[in-house]
Structure 1
Amino acid sequence: MRSILTVHAALLVLLLSGCAKQPVAMSPQSSAPSPSGMPSAVSPSSQPAFSQSTPPPEANQPVVGRSDSGSARPAIREFVENAALRDIYFEFDKYDLRPGDTKVLDVNAGWLKANPGHQMLIEGHADERGTDAYNLALGERRAQAAMNYLVAQGIRATRISIVSYGKERPVCNEHNEACWARNRRDHFLTKAQ
Structure 2
Amino acid sequence: MQLKRGLKRGLKPYARTLAVALSLAFVAGCSSSGGTQDGSMDGSRDGAGTGTAGSSQVGGSGIGTGSERAGQQADGRIPEQRTIYFEYDSDRIRSEFEPVLTAHARYLSSNGNARVVLQGHTDERGTREYNMALSERRARSVERFLSVQGVSPSQVEVVGYGEERPAARGQSEDAYAQNRRVVFAY
* TM value normalised by structure 2: 0.57
Structure with higher strand content = 1
Check 1:83–1:99 CA distance in 2 against 1; reply closer, same or farther (3 A cut): closer
RMSD of equivalent CA atoms: 1.6
Report the secondary structure of 1:166's partner residue: coil
Q: Which 4+ residue blocks in structure 1 deviate beyond 4 angstroms?
A: 80-83
Partner residue, 1:140? 136
Gaps of 5+ in 2: 1-49, 52-77
Count residues in correspondence: 111
Question: Which structure has the greater CA radius of gyration?
Answer: 1
Aligned residue type for 1:98? R
Check 1:143–1:167 CA distance in 2 against 1; reply closer, same or farther (3 A cut): same
Partner residue, 1:13? none
Structure with higher helix content = 2
Partner residue, 1:165? 161
Report the secondary structure of 1:188's partner residue: strand
1:150-178 CA distance string (max 9 Å, x none): 00000011110000000000000021001
Question: Could you tell me whether the CA contact under 8 Å between 1:123 and 1:165 is conserved in 2?
Answer: yes
Report the secondary structure of 2:115's partner residue: strand
Check 1:146–1:157 CA distance in 2 against 1; reply closer, same or farther (3 A cut): same
Return 81-90 or 179-188, whichever deviates more.
81-90
Partner residue, 2:115? 119
Partner residue, 1:97? 93
Output the CA distance in 1 between the equivalents of 2:86 and 2:144.
16
Output the CA distance in 1 between the equivalents of 2:110 and 2:179.
29
Determine which structure has greater relative contact order: mean sequence separation of CA pairs < 8 Å that are 6+ residues apart, divided by chain length: 1
Aligned residue type for 2:121? H
Question: Could you tell me whether the CA contact under 8 Å between 1:84 and 1:111 is conserved in 2?
Answer: no
* TM value normalised by structure 1: 0.55
Question: Could you tell me whether the CA contact under 8 Å between 2:79 and 2:104 is conserved in 1?
Answer: no
Output the CA distance in 1 between the equivalents of 2:183 and 2:122.
11
Output the CA distance in 2 between the equivalents of 1:137 and 1:164.
7
Output the CA distance in 2 between the equivalents of 1:121 and 1:130.
24
Aligned residue type for 1:166? G
Partner residue, 2:71? none
Gaps of 5+ in 1: 1-79
How far 1:85 sits from its partner (Å)?
A: 4.3
Identity of aligned residues (%): 38
How far 1:114 sits from its partner (Å)?
A: 2.9
Partner residue, 1:177? 173
